[in-house]
């Protein structure tokens, strides 16, 4: 679990991130889940956009995709989802503030 300080740190990093995955009419497909998995492995922090033609609630989608990819939901604002999953020791790109 992320602390509020770590979540705030990740939110600040996400401000400059581009949306790299979009969920549309088909919502969360196995292919989309695979793409999220790969993106998290490469980047650790990703932004997902939920398009207007997607009937599902972004909050619910965030929880589902986070569960399937073993990631943490950093935030959901409108139709944007930010996810974080810590990389393996060799591939870590983001150093989180220490838990106190």
Confidence of residue 93 (pLDDT cuts 50, 70, 90): confident
Between the two ends of the chain, the Cα-to-Cα distance in Å is 13
Per-residue pLDDT, averaged over 74-83, amounts to: 97
**In the prediction, which pLDDT does 1 show?**
85
Per-residue pLDDT, averaged over 51-64, amounts to: 95
Q: Which domains does the chain have, with CATH numbers?
A: 4-86 (3.30.110.60)
Instruction: Report CA torsion sign: 93, 98, 21, 36.
Output: positive
Tell the residue number behind the tokens 């549309």, with chain if given: 24
């Amino acid at each position: 679990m992320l602390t509020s300080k770590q979540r705030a740190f990740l939110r600040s990093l996400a401000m400059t991130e581009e949306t790299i995955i979009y969920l549309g009419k088909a919502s969360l497909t196995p292919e989309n889940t695979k793409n999220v998995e790969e993106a998290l492995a490469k980047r650790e922090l990703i932004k997902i956009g939920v398009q207007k033609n997607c009937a599902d609630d972004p909050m619910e989608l965030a929880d589902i995709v986070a569960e399937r990819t073993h990631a943490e939901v950093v935030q959901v604002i409108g139709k944007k989802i930010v996810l974080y999953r810590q990389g393996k020791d060799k591939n870590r790109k983001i150093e989180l503030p220490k838990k106190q």
